Chain A
């Protein structure tokens, strides 16, 4: 009987070992990339029933964030404004434009506009907006430059690791309370110093912030 494995089996055997290593590396890289892209959808604009432009309202017109999202300072849940808030202006302004059809329909029928949620946390996460606003965490820190977005997308991944990054080092991200709604705020060069003072002043208990019960109640 001739040789059972031909000489080119050597190459095959060698490449099986090298290829195995390469395969594992590629698998890890692609799984990581897949996790980033598919789960988080950072930077992907979400289609809405009404083409609401934050860049127009908060950017050009300079409306304060709290005009529409008015319970963000006092409530755990920062709500989406009801149709009535739209109608405070649009009962007079640009009446009848096709872009606003869904708003008028909602006003006439009494059915709320079915906005598509962009920042969806799992129900086992209890997120409290007012706690962050009152502790000097600015809107743009988590939501990005909303005043420059024509359609809303996620600026940050909203993963638990990302949350914990700040909860473990709040001094790196805390800003003065009066700057919270300033979307153009930039952290100063001596942020760590100022942040430490603010953590002290706002009574932020950094040691307990990464405990399970803070979010998973």
Chain B
């Protein structure tokens, strides 16, 4: 009996014995504390993020003044680190939408504790990603030509280019994610408004909460809107990264013109995204003492999704190599040979090591329950997914049809400073977010608490009212 209870405890989405007020105390009290009494780790984290944000802005300024040639791009490899980092960042964002939207459609209650910060992660990753398509332009100040608007030139964008679809995909993704995130925040902002003591803090959250009173009508419409947005975000998230996959798959370059690209890119995005969720969740639950709300069950489930999507990615690697051989096209075969044994084979083998080998321990329950192991594996996966985009974008372009146009690629200091600086942008936004807004969706957690208090012990559906007699089944 004791053993059985032990297993049940770890299988719970939130630890037993939670109360509504307890959840609020846990999540909202640290936010409402005076800024000067923020914990030291927050100042440190924000400081590091802000420093690298300055590195980012310095790199962007240099880029605009001196031109796009400060990067290591060359003529065969005209797409390099900016595109690698763009795909990497936008991929990271996808796990947030998967958690908030797709898991909502599947009615997974374990999404509840992690959806808020995962959506924030999406939003900030999209901010970092969305800058790259502009910054990698030679003339970034003319980026608005990519939008269809009536102008005196009589010109419109080319709607056949996946790069223009990117504009629509990313701008839609950014705005829908922001809207989805904000709608989810409104009840929590109202809680913060009501719990705040300081007049100006109250006014700040009160303005953002848009007059939420929590009436039955409010909640009914809220649920409807939330579900609709989830249903809209699901195809959106699948198509956004597919669109980005088409940037490559639409071309004729051997190694790019693969029909497997869209689903394989989406799987890779969710894979990398869940790795980032784990990287953020493990320190977060310690920093805010959220172990009772973000339980080992969450980490375990995230690791399972990571493993599942990771294996799809591994399947992608195998299929790419198989088709390269099976096609009988010498360019395709050489592409595979170049990846496996060429000058930049180290990138491919490091990628296999990170994405295919390092995730195998996740099959074990013990590894999935170990936070140290999960954190390390997630870091390795993040590096591995960066290398995957490096191999797809750069190593492919180095060697294609004409041997007279073969080149190499070496990133410059600005390639790196812009990338590391974009992490500073992410971290700055992240630390502002965890200080000002609830990292956990308290209103949704309270639903789980309600379920625990009133429906535990029997398996009836939460929505079925308990006071009404169950219909007789004849």
B152-A157 in contact (CB<8A)? yes
> Which residues does chain A contribute within 8 Å of B153, judged by CB atoms?
159-161
Interface-located stretch among B83-91, B198-206, B352-360 = B198-206
| A165→B206 CA distance, assembly (Å) | 53
Within the assembled complex, what's the spacing in Å between the Cα atoms of A161 and B153? 4
Interface of B toward A, CB cutoff 8 Å: 151-155, 193, 199, 202-203, 206-207, 211
Residue from A157, A161, A164 with most neighbouring chain B CB atoms (10 Å): A161
- Roughly how many angstroms separate A157 CA and B152 CA in the complex, as a whole number? 9
> Closest B-chain residue to A10, C-beta based?
B211
Chain A residues with CB under 8 Å of B154's CB are 160-161, 164-165
B152 with A35: CB separation less than 8 A: yes
List residues of chain A with CB within 8 A of the CB of B206.
4-5
Contact B203 A160 (CB under 8 A): no
20 A-B pairs with CB atoms under 8 Å apart are: A1-B202, A4-B193, A4-B199, A4-B203, A5-B203, A5-B206, A5-B207, A13-B211, A35-B152, A39-B152, A157-B152, A159-B153, A160-B152, A160-B153, A161-B151, A161-B152, A161-B153, A161-B154, A162-B152, A165-B154
Which residues of B lie under 8 Å from residue A4 when comparing CB positions? 193, 199, 202-203, 206
Which B residues are CB-close (under 8 A) to A35? 152
Give the CA-CA distance A5 to B193 in the complex, in Å. Answer: 11
Closest to A163 in B: B154
| Residues of B contacting A5 in the complex (Cβ-Cβ under 8 angstroms) | 203, 206-207, 211
CB-nearest residue of chain A relative to B194?
Answer: A4
Interface readout for A1-15 with B: 1 if CB under 8 Å, 0 if not? 100110000000100
Nearest CB of chain A from residue B149's CB, rounded to whole Å: 10
Q: Measured between alpha carbons, how far is A160 from B152 in the docked complex, in Å?
A: 6
**Interface range, A side:** 10 to 19
Residues of A within 8 A of B193 (CB): 4
Residues in chain A near residue B211, CB distance under 8 A: 5, 13
Closest to B153 in A: A160
How far, in Å, is A17 (CB) from chain B's closest CB?
11
Which has the most chain B C-beta neighbours within 10 Å: A1, A4, A164?
A4
Please name all residues of chain B whose beta carbon is closer than 8 Å to the beta carbon of A164 when the two chains form the complex: 154
Q: In whole Å, how far is B193's beta carbon from the nearest beta carbon of chain A?
A: 7
Q: Which B residues are in CB contact (< 8 Å) with A13?
A: 211
Q: How far is the CB of B68 from chain A (nearest CB, A)?
A: 19
**Which residues 1-43 in A have Cβ within 8 Å of B in the complex?**
1, 4-5, 13, 35, 39
Docked complex Cα distance between A159 and B150 (Å): 13
Q: Is the CB of A160 within 8 A of B155?
A: yes
Seed contacts A4-B202, A160-B155, A164-B154; 4 additional CB < 8 Å A-B pairs: A4-B203, A5-B207, A160-B154, A161-B152
For the complex, give the distance between the alpha carbons of A194 and B97 in Å: 62
Residue among B152, B155, B199, B202 with the most chain A CB within 10 A? B152
- B94–chain A nearest beta-carbon distance, Å: 31
CB neighbours (8 Å) of B152 from chain A are 35, 39, 157, 159-162
Closest Cβ of chain A: how far from B288's Cβ, in Å?
A: 26
- Closest Cβ of chain B to A29, distance in Å, is 13
What mask results when residues 155 to 194 of chain A are scored 1 for a CB within 8 Å of chain B, else 0? Answer: 0010111101100000000000000000000000000000
Chain B: which residue is nearest A3 at the CB level?
B206
Q: What residue of chain A has the Cβ atom nearest to residue B199's Cβ?
A: A4
8 A Cβ contacts from A88-118 to B: none
Which chain B residue lies CB-closest to A13? B211
List of A residues within 8 angstroms of B155 by Cβ: 160
Which residues of chain B come closer than 8 Å to A161, judged between CB atoms? 151-154
- In the assembled complex, the Cα of A164 lies from the Cα of B203 at a distance in Å of 54
Give the nearest-CB partner of B149 in chain A: A28
Q: Looking at the assembled complex, report how far the CB atom of B214 sits from the nearest CB atom of chain A, in whole angstroms.
A: 16
Q: How far is the CA of A1 from the CA of B193 in the complex (A)?
A: 12
Contact partners of B199 in chain A: CB under 8 A: 1, 4
5 nearest interchain CB pairs? Answer: A161-B154, A159-B152, A160-B153, A164-B154, A4-B202
Q: Give the docked Cα–Cα distance between A202 and B193 (Å).
A: 76
CA of A174 to CA of B297 in the docked complex: distance in angstroms?
Answer: 77
For the complex, what is the distance from the CA of A1 to the CA of B206, rounded to whole Å?
14
Q: Which residue on A lies nearest to B151, using beta carbons?
A: A161
Which A residues touch B207, using CB under 8 A? 5
Q: How far in angstroms is the closest Cβ of chain A from B152?
A: 4
Chain A residue nearest to B196 (CB atoms) is A4
Tell me which residues across on chain B come within 8 A of A160, comparing CB atoms: 152-155
The distance in angstroms between the C-alpha atoms of A160 and B155, with both chains bound, is 9
User: What is the bound-complex CA distance between A35 and B207, given in angstroms?
Assistant: 37
Chain B residue nearest in CB terms to A5: B206
Determine how close the nearest CB of chain A comes to the CB of B12; give it in whole angstroms. Answer: 37
**Which chain A residue lies CB-closest to B202?**
A4
* Best-buried of B153, B154, B199 by chain A (most CB within 10 Å): B154
Q: Which residue, B153, B155, B199, has most C-beta atoms of chain A within 10 A?
A: B153
- For B203, the chain A residues whose CB sits under 8 A away are 4-5
Q: Find the B residue at minimum CB distance from A40.
A: B152
- Residues of A135-164 at the interface with B, using a CB-CB cut-off of 8 Å, are 157, 159-162, 164
CB-CB nearest in chain B for A35: B152
Tell me the minimal C-beta distance from A23 to chain B in angstroms.
Answer: 18
- Minimum C-beta distance from A213 to chain B (A): 15
Distance of A7 from chain B, by nearest CB (Å): 12
A143-B129 Cα distance, complex, nearest whole Å: 48
CB of B428 to closest CB in A, whole Å: 28
Alpha-carbon distance A161/B152, docked complex (angstroms) = 5
Alpha-carbon distance between A97 and B203 when the two chains are bound, in angstroms: 76
- Rounded to whole angstroms, the CA-CA distance of A13 and B211 in the bound complex is 10
**Cα distance A5–B203 in the bound complex, in angstroms:** 7
Compute how far the CA of A5 lies from the CA of B211 in the bound complex, rounded to whole angstroms: 9
Report the bound CA distance from A162 to B155 in whole Å.
12
Task: State A1–B198 Cα separation when bound (angstroms).
Answer: 10
**Nearest-CB residue, chain B, relative to A2:** B199
A121 to chain B, nearest CB (A): 13
Give bound CA distance, A109 to B153, whole Å.
43
Residue of B nearest to A159 (CB): B152
